[in-house]
Structure 1
Amino acid sequence: MPKKRTTISVDESLLQKAQSKGMNVSAITERALEDEVERPQYHMLNTSKSWLEERTEGEVDTTVIYSEGVAAQFGGFDRGVDIGPGDYIISYVDGDGARAVGKALAEWREEPVEPEERLVLPKDHDEDEYHIPVYWFAVLSPGNGLSSSLLEEITGRPVYSSTHNPLSRDGDHAELIADAIVGRAYRTS
């Protein structure tokens, strides 16, 4: 594969130590970039509970997704979502906070499920429902989710729970959120 010349900034003393040991900085940097690109990504998906309740005029149970092993989104969610197998999904429930963390088992399908496959919306509802299979390895009971204020305390900044929010491991502290859900799940089980 052809190489492209680029410039990076590296701590001067670190670069000198690497060069004094005969290390190939370009090769090491390339391997580190490859590893980072291949690492699973984190995504926060909001179950859209309040949005659903407005449109269905009643109480909606979005927790069925955990027992059925899917993440679900609703309405016009057919825009590109870059979730792939092995990516981590943090499930956020309006009014309850971050409730679960799991791993995606497949690529995100941009086609809605058939009405008879819906888990949350009524079969005759005019909105679409989208699923991605997920292995939920930590699910918090209702009322025990990590609230927005607790997420801010954990990460040191506001965490937005829009319909789909890709999270970076660094700036969004996605691994801390996942670890906090897992820790609370094991303490309360």
Structure 2
Amino acid sequence: MLELIEEIPADSIYYHTHSYYLRHAYAQGLFPNDFATWVTLHAHDRVLGEQLGILDPFEFDGIEQLRVEILAIMSEHLSHIKSLPRAATGEPFEFMRSHMIEADLGLETWTLREFRDALAHVEVGAIYNHVCEARLRKGRLSGDFADWLSAEDGLGLQELAARVAKAGCLGVSLEGIREQIVRLCDRELSTG
């Protein structure tokens, strides 16, 4: 697995770390990335699984930085054990890639109330696109929502935007991210 992670396309690293949130939008699994889950369940290496499982993919500015960290964790761990873990169940790790296709949902908001109400009901894939995809593939490190909330041609709400940018940390499902942002909007609406 270590050698393959060095060679696979960045889209595959992305799929197994970031798109995990889209594939498990309503509930978190054992770990928030496929590498940690497979190592734990199929190679029976719980220590390495936990080390990989605490990686927050949103803390990295790019996939290559994340790849380097995954490789460093795996190399360090493997250098301290006597026998290499193997997939005991015969379940190989299948490297996948993804390609996102954006679809206009026909939703526009002009006020914080409209944004909050639309966010509360929009399909969860839209949250993934504007939070996860925006941060990594589009290079908007705060995410689309925070960028719009803080922009002068948006709502100009810098403090709210800073709090929204922090939503969606490790271990939070897309529904959890939605709930966090809706609560932040509710708080702003009640005080503003």
Q: Give TM-score scaled by structure 1 length.
A: 0.26
Bigger fraction of residues in helix: 2
Bigger fraction of residues in strand: 1
Q: Give TM-score scaled by structure 2 length.
A: 0.26
Q: Who wins on radius of gyration, i.e. which is larger?
A: 1
